[in-house]
Structure formats: C-alpha cells, structure tokens
Amino acid sequence: MKRLSSSTRAFLLAAALMVAIGWLEGARPGGLSLPRLTAGLVTLDLLIRAGVFTIILVGLNLLMGYAGQVSLGQAAFYGMGAFFSAILTVKTRNVGIPPALAGAWWWPWLVMGLGAVMVGGLAYLIGWVILRLRGHYLAMATLGLGIAVFIVLRENLGLPRLDLTGGFDGVVGIPRLRVGAYPLWPVHRYFLLVWAVALATVALGLNIVDSRLGRALRAIHHSQLAAETLGVDAPRYKAQIFATSAALASLAGSLYAHFQAAVVPATFGFVPSLELVLMSAVGGMASIWGAPLGALAVLLLEELLRTRLRLILPGTGGELEAVAFGLLLILVLLFWPRGLAGRVSGPLRRPTPARGAG
Amino acid sequence: MPSAAGTQAMSAPLLEVRQVTKAFGGLVALQDVSLAVWPGQIKGLIGPNGAGKTTLFNLITGILPPLRGDILFRGGSIVGLPPYRIADLGIARTFQNVQLFAGMTVLENVLVGFHRHMQGGLLDAAFRSPRMRREEREVRERALGLLEEFDLLRWAHEPVESLPFGRQRVVEVARAVAAAPILVLLDEPGAGLSGAEKVRLTQVIRKLCQDGVTVFLVEHDMELMMGLADEVAVLDHTVLIAEGPPAVIQSHPAVIAAYLGEAEPTHAP
C-alpha cells in the first residue's frame, strides 16, 4: 500500500489529463481548443460519450471479462436509466409529481440515484433466473431481454394514454443538471462531471477486482465447480455483479439523457448492445482499464473513418466505412486477443517466465 | 504408526455414506454403496478405472445428487445441499483433473480457498472499507504462510498455469487446506507426480492428518496408498467389495481378483 501501484499512477494521470482538457475547453487560451489541437478529430462530445460508455463498460467487463457471464443486452439497462431520468424530469405532470419537487435542483440527481437502484434491483431478480443459463443460452436470454426492453420503450410501456416514453420520437427537453444554483453547463463542465463519475467507476471496478468478491468472480469464470466446492455461492455472486453492471449502465443512461437533453429508444436497441460488447473486446474484457480504452478507441476509429476515409478514397459512401470498421476490428481481435489493455499493460509488467497467454 | 483405527468404536463417523446408488441414464455408476470415514483417520478408496470413485466424491460434495441413499456429515444429511453449502460445513476437495483458476496467481488461487472465512461483500469491496482492508491483510499473511508451508512461496505471484504439473497439484491441495476443512477429499493427488513429488505429497497428507484434518483419498498408486491409509475401501464395478486396514485389503481374495490381481495371468484373455 506504500508505493504507488502502476494502476494508481495510471489513474492519477487520467484524472490530470481530463482536468487539463476541461480547463483547455473552458478557458480556450489563445484560441486553442481540443478540436484545433487534434485536427477536428477529438471533441468534447466524443469524450463525453466515451465517458458514458466507460461507466457501462466497467460493469460489463466485471460481468463478462471477470465473472465470465455474457450479456448481449446491456443497452437495455442503459435505456432504462435514460428513460427513467427523462420521464421523471420531463413528464412530471403525466406521473403526478408536484412542480415544486420537479423544479428542485436535486430532483434530477435523486431520480438518477433511484433509477440506478431500481434497475439494479430489477437486474438482480432477472439475474437469479437467467444466470442459471450458461454460454450461448445466457447470451440468447440477455439478447431477448435487450430486444424486449427496446420494444417496451418504443411502444410507450404499453400505456399509450400516459405517453411516457414518447414512442419512436422519445422524450425531449430533459433539463441540464445543476448543483444548487451552479449549472453543470456549458459542455466542458458536463465533461468534467461525466469523467469524474467514469473515473470513480474505474476506481470502484479496480477495487472489486482485487477483493474477495473479485477473486470469487474470476474463480467462477474459470471453474465454477471448483469455486463452489470452496464455498463460493456462485448464483448469488453472479446475480450481484449482474445487478451492479445494470446499475452502472442505468447511471450512464441518466448522464447521457441530461447531456443530450433528448432520448429516443433507437439509442438503446440491439445494435448498441453489440457495440458495447465490441468496445469491451477491443479494450480488453478482463481489464478495468480496458473500459475507457475500448470506448475511446472505438469512438475515435468511427470518427476517423467517418471524416477521413473520404479523403483517401474519394467518392465513397458509408458502406466502405462500415467495411473498414469491421475489418480493423477483426484484425484487433485476431492479433490482440486481450484487447488494448493487454497491449498496454503487457510490456509494463515485470517479466514472467517465457510462457505468455498465447 | 497410524492408530486412529483403534479409537473408532468409541466415536461416531464423521462421514457416513448409506446405501447410495447413482446412475447416469441407464448406466449405473454406484450401487448400494455404504461406508464410513472416522474422525482423524486417513481413509483410502481404491478401485479400477470406472469403478465409481470420482462419482462418489461428486456425490459427497454435492456436485451430483444420488439416486437413492443418504450421505451424513457429522450426523446430519447433506444430500440436496448445494456444493457451496457443503463446503461451508467443512468439506473441501481436490479434483482428478486439476481444477485451478487459470489466469490467477498461485496466491490468488489459495486466497479463494479462504473465501468462506472472509466477510467482505460487494460494498466492502467497491469502497475498500477499513474492515475489508484489515481482513484482506490478515488473510494474505495467512495465505503466504500456507504457501511457505507447501514450499510454494517462490511461485506466489506467478500465474498458476505456468507451474509444473506436480506443483499445480500441490497448489490445489494448499487451496483446499486454506478452506480449513474438517474433511478433505483428495482425488488422485499423486497422478502424474514424480517419485520425489510423491514423497513430498505423502508428507503433506500426514501433516494434514496431524493437524486434525480427516482425509479421504482416492489413489491409484498402491504403494503410496498402503503407506498412508489407516483404512481402505475398495470399489469394483460400482459395488463396494471390501473395507479394512491396508494389510487385510492387500490379501483380501476379492480385491486381489478385482484389482491387485489384474495383471495376473489368470485374467489374461
């Protein structure tokens, strides 16, 4: 505990970097800005989305990379959080919340917390049932869950008269967050909030990995049988980590809703769920640092292809972007099976006997 | 040297298997098997391949349910309990095909063994509560002590899969011991070990017994078994055919026919 571990150093570095970026964008000294420094590639918008995904991915990596339970429906919990916040801060009259309450600065924060707790609780119950399934069956069940939640959101929760989710069009006019009278806006303030939460989540994840619970999860991953014969209550821990990952996704959803000020169901469908798995794989599933790395790498790659591919190959449309994106991802997963985090941390570790992970 | 056999008449059995039958579909794996393991003894279980030894271990540890019969631990039935509850009662085991947690270090593997003696839950873990830090420190110290005892200390921070096979078996035993069991089931701990490693294994098992842990042992190496066990049970084709002190078992006609005599010319086709 005395010396700073490499993880602590990485953590402080990341925090310092984010504060520096926040300051740069807030002050814009001498006309300098993030987009100007990066030739328009990196914007606060991109970094905020990366921060939001980081929060989800920490949970997803704990679930998939450490506990070994696949979820192809994580965007469902993300969507639940986003719509929970949207409905309870915008459609207050439809659900009978008094204006005095809905107008208080702390109301959105309370909703955000309540949403995470409720979504986590719901996931715990769902987890008890579906985490008994293994491998492909679990993947299918979570896939079904994701699609079901998407449809429920799109179909106004089956209560068209109340019009809570707004159907296809979603909910607009979600308020910005405030602390007392201090608004967390313009965007660089919100950026700092999102990354403060994201890095706190990373810290939480790192703590969990290196604990009794974290070891139990990894043990379940590699041999549930052996883990159980050592007293590890596998079903309970799996449900717990499923609930934790869902609560984090819900929190990320709330932060996203207050950032975009509008949410539509399509953001939380099947494709976004797959995108999350992809980010997790690219960053390195069995790594907490893989979460920010994966989110940043995939978003940057998308941005790069979207803005630059046309310069190299003129006259190409969106199809080629998708193809190039897919190809690059296949290459990453082929050559770096442990993801970016595996690439980064590998050479930093002290040498171990010749045998690698293959 | 072993004297536990003499005291058994006075105490109750630690583990009692009562007329247990197990079948996989139509294939019978165990038929009406009854046996007892007494506190403080090293009990052996031998038998040809496919006799049902590992199946019996799987029934005792709750991995499989018996079709009929009952299994009692310290006088109470443990049939129907999930494996982690049975582990919590104080039964630990190793596996014939070593089941270590790949990707984790030797120390971490042993730390999982301490799982049931620790308290820290999700919130403790996430926020590093002082209680959890203290517990973590204490358990790490004990785990390192255990590794030293098993001569594994220099591998503590190596990934467990990088160890030679013989050492991996020892790690598995150390992990089971970390759970501080009352009864430990060892499924062929000597398989694949060199002569020197087997000698070490024998010492480890004796030490366990001295520390008050009851040992139930499946082993193919007859020499190792006869030198260690206070009492031996013999399974042959799903049925218990003999039970007694090693010397008696070695000269038991049914055992010679079924197992020890396998290599004799009378059995040649």
Give the pLDDT band (50/70/90) at residue A173: very high
First to last CA, chain A: 32
Give the pLDDT score at A175.
96
* Residue A114 domain flag: yes
* Inside any domain, residue B61: yes
Answer whether residue A311 is part of any domain: no
Nearest CA in chain A to B93: A229
Structural domains in chain B (count)? 1
- A223 at B interface, C-beta within 8 A: yes
pLDDT in tens, A55-87: 999 999 999 999 999 999 999 999 999 999 999
Mean per-residue pLDDT of chain A: 91
What domain range is A174 assigned to? 44-270
Instruction: State whether residue B112 sits within 8 Å of chain A by CB.
Output: yes
| Any B CB within 8 A of A219 CB | yes
Beta bridge partners of B23: B28
pLDDT band for A353, please (50, 70, 90 cuts): very low
Specify the 3-state DSSP secondary structure of B79: coil
Mean pLDDT, residues A23-52: 93
Does residue A6 register a pLDDT over 60? yes
ipTM of this model?
0.90
Give yes or no for A200 touching B (CB within 8 A): no
pLDDT band at A176 (very low <50, low <70, confident <90, very high): very high
Question: Residue B55 maps to which CATH number?
Answer: 3.40.50.300
Q: Write down the pLDDT at residue B152.
A: 94
Structural domain contains residue A165? yes
In terms of C-beta density within 10 A (0-12 exposed, 13-18 middle, 19 or more buried), how is residue B140 classed? middle
Give the pLDDT score at B192. Answer: 84
The answer to the question of residue B166 being in a domain is no
Instruction: Give contacts of B83 with chain A, Cβ < 8 Å.
Output: 225, 228-229
Task: Tell whether A323 is covered by a domain.
Answer: no
The answer to whether residues A169 and A156 touch, using CB atoms and an 8 Å cutoff, is: no
Would you say residue B40 lies in a domain? yes
Tens digits of per-residue pLDDT, B68-101? Answer: 999 999 999 999 999 999 999 999 999 999 999 9
Q: What type of residue is A320?
A: L
Q: Is the Cβ of B254 closer than 8 Å to some Cβ of chain A?
A: no
Question: Which of A204, A215, A234 is the closest to B84 by Cβ?
Answer: A234
Question: For the whole model, what pTM was predicted?
Answer: 0.91
Q: Do the chains contact at A212 and B122, CB–CB below 8 Å?
A: no
CA distance B87 to A232: 8
Which pLDDT belongs to residue B10?
55
**pLDDT grade for B109, boundaries at 50, 70 and 90:** very high
How high is the pLDDT of residue B127? 92
Q: In chain B, which ranges are E strands? A: 15-24, 27-37, 42-46, 68-73, 76-77, 91-93, 183-187, 214-218, 231-236, 239-244
**R_g of chain A computed on alpha carbons:** 21
Assess if residue A345 is contained within a domain: no
What is the rounded CA–CA span in Å between residue A54 and residue A49?
Answer: 8
% pLDDT > 90, chain A: 74
Q: Tell me which residue range forms the domain holding B9.
A: 4-102+179-267
pLDDT per residue over A117-130, tens digit each? 999 999 999 999 99
Count of domains forming chain A = 1
Question: 10 Å Cβ neighbour count for B193?
Answer: 21
Residue in B191, B179, B170 with CA at minimum distance from that of residue B83 = B179
pLDDT in tens, A95-149: 999 999 999 999 999 999 999 999 999 999 999 999 988 888 989 999 999 999 9
At A3, the pLDDT band (50, 70, 90 cuts) reads low
pLDDT of residue A45: 96
Question: Is B137 among the domain residues?
Answer: no
Q: Band the pLDDT of B111: cuts 50, 70, 90.
A: very high
Q: For residue A13, give both structure tokens.
A: 């570095």
B83·A218 Cβ contact <8 A: no
